[in-house]
């Protein structure tokens, strides 16, 4: 499972709060390092989401292009006196 950007930023905020409230310096250092790691992961998640959105848009564009081509082909028939089989308008 890949974490979402929202979840990563929530974890980053949590780690920054832990660092701010920590009494011990090593706890502060570890929480600050963890916050930086979550920030980097959030950037990666943003890139991943953007790639996914672009991929989905490309699929939608291709589907629309195929539908347009199919609608243009639909008007041409080798047997103009007969309807199309899938519309239920077939004359016998």
**pLDDT tens digits for 16-56?**
999 999 999 999 999 999 999 999 999 999 999 898 888 88
Distances (CA, A) of 32 to 3, 7, 20: 20, 17, 9
Give the torsion sign (CA, 20, 21, 25, 30).
negative
pLDDT, mean over the chain: 83
pTM score of the predicted model = 0.60
pLDDT the model gives residue 64:
79
Q: Where are the domains of the chain?
A: 5-75
- pLDDT higher than threshold 70 for residue 75: no
Tell me the percentage of the chain whose pLDDT exceeds 90. 48
């Amino acid at each position: 499972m890949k974490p979402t950007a929202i979840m990563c930023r929530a974890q980053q905020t949590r780690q920054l709060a832990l660092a701010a409230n920590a009494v011990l310096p090593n706890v502060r250092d570890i929480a600050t390092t963890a916050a930086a790691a979550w920030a980097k992961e959030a950037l990666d998640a943003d890139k991943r989401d953007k790639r996914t959105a672009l991929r989905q848009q490309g699929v939608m564009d291709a589907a629309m292009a195929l539908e347009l081509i199919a609608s243009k082909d639909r008007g041409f028939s080798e047997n103009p006196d007969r309807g199309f089989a899938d519309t239920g308008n077939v004359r016998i």
